[in-house]
Chain A
């Protein structure tokens, strides 16, 4: 058979010709890497059916081209190319999350070079905790995101820029029910409130989030999945304060846990210098 003969020829050149050995091995590794990440991405996004479809189309395409005559079989590459483009179109949001997560600044990577007065930092920590406890006591819903300046402008500009000092009165005023900015998230960077009323990406991880948590908590968790930030959420229904980090949420945070989180944020993650 021509097919058997041709495969045998390819195998012989792979074994006997070093340049072909290298070329074929590198080709296999490159394609394998590409296919692995494509298939892994689809599996992570619960699209196993697309993986099955892709595999079937590849096998059927191979079978058709094997018996076709006078066709350059390089057109076989159209199949994975089409699937790659389809993935990029269908999952553009998820791909953007992955890219944003890669670009996020990790703690300690950026030296802000800013000196903060230790007393000023302590004041900020106290003001934030007081605001959170007051809102918790009055069942006022809130999300506060603690960033190291790594929140994309797209999120900051979705709200209203404030660029003002932190005070418990201001935080409570922003989240007071029925005020214009109460329904979004507040972004804090250092000793400044950067913006409020911001829209955050919702968490897509439906398996690990308790079912009784609503959209506010999912937003608080979701932003930590894509960007290296801490979010503090106050539940409107129960007043429970939760802290989310890297896609995981810790509920029932008391003042000690809040002080620990905020102290770590200011003195370790911001990598600031004490005046």
Chain B
């Protein structure tokens, strides 16, 4: 009986992890940029 897990793709696991890592890095940079912008704008004319 074949009990393969269909979610496993040979050789693509590492590429997917690297892609996820860089996406997360990009999101962190974007979030930080927007938060710095927010704090700057709020403090500009209080």
Contact = CB atoms under 8 A, between A and B. Distances in A.
Contacts of B34: 31-32, 35, 55, 58
Nearest to B39: A27
A251 B2 contact: yes
A43 B23 contact: yes
Given A24-B39, A58-B37, A251 B27 contact: no
Interface string A239-269: 0000000001111111001000000000000
B42 A251 contact: no
Interface residues of A, number: 45
Bin the interface of chain B by size. 20 to 34
B32 A32 contact: yes
**For B28, B32, B38, which residue has the most chain A Cβ atoms within 10 angstroms?**
B38
A40 B29 CA distance: 12
Nearest to B30: A39
Interface SS of chain A: helix
Given A62-B41, A77-B42, 13 more contacts: A10-B40, A10-B44, A30-B35, A35-B34, A40-B24, A55-B34, A71-B45, A73-B43, A77-B38, A248-B7, A249-B5, A251-B2, A257-B3
22 contacts: A3-B44, A6-B45, A10-B44, A24-B39, A28-B32, A29-B35, A35-B31, A39-B27, A43-B23, A58-B34, A58-B37, A61-B41, A65-B45, A66-B41, A71-B45, A73-B42, A73-B46, A74-B46, A76-B42, A248-B5, A250-B6, A251-B4
